[in-house]
Homo-oligomer: A and B are copies of this chain.
C-alpha cells in the first residue's frame, strides 16, 4: 500500500493555501519540524549537486529586521518557522569534487569509478557562463520549495511561499553573502489563524484542460 491514497493526497493539496495570517501561538511539534527539515535535505537537484543552504531564522529580533524587507508581510514574524532558501553562489568544478567525495564516503565506491561522472559534472559547471549557472542552479532551489510545501501539506502543517521580499537585504541582514549564499525564495510555516479569511476562499486554478495537454 502506498503511504497515501490519491484522494488523501489531493485533499492535502487542496487544504494547503498561501497562509496570510498565522496563529503566532501555535508551534510545529519538534518531530514534525525535523521531518520538514529532512524533506529539504532529501530534495532532488541536478546531478544531485545540492547547490543550496536553508537558513532557518529562529531569532525573533532578526525576523523583525527582515519584516521591512518583506513588504511588511506579517507571516515573516508570526509564523512559527521562517526558512530562507538560498543558492550556493559560484558553483564550480570543486562542487563536483565535493559531491564525488561524499558519494565515495556514503557508497564505498572507489573514486576512480566515479571519475567519468565527476568530469561530466565539472565540465558542465565550468562551461556554463556565470549568469546561466545562476539560472540553472537557482531553479534547483525552487524544486526544494515544492518539496517542502508538499511535505508540509501532507504533514498538516500550514505554509506560505514568499517571493515578495528584497533578496539583497535578506543577504545583508543574514550575512549570506559572506557565507557564499544568496537568498532566492522564502517559506514560512506554522498554523493558520482561525480568522485568516483566505483559508475559506476557493482556490484559483485554471481548468485542467488549460494547463494539461496530452500529446
Contact = CB atoms under 8 A, between A and B. Distances in A.
Interface residues of A, number: 82
A202 interface: yes
B143 A140 contact: no
Interface in A143-175: 143-151, 153-157, 161, 163, 174
Contact of A56 (B13, B50, B212): B212
Contacts of A107: 201-202, 204
A55 B213 contact: yes
A140 B18 CA distance: 15
Interface string A188-206: 0000000000000111111
A208 interface: yes
A174 B142 CA distance: 25
B13 A151 contact: yes
Contacts of A202: 106-107
Contact of A144 (B40, B146, B174): B146
20 contacts: A4-B155, A6-B155, A10-B35, A16-B44, A39-B150, A40-B211, A40-B212, A44-B149, A56-B213, A56-B215, A57-B214, A59-B215, A102-B206, A106-B203, A136-B163, A143-B146, A145-B146, A146-B146, A147-B147, A150-B150
Given A9-B151, A53-B210, A58-B215, 11 more contacts: A3-B8, A9-B35, A13-B38, A16-B44, A40-B211, A52-B211, A54-B213, A55-B214, A142-B146, A143-B149, A147-B149
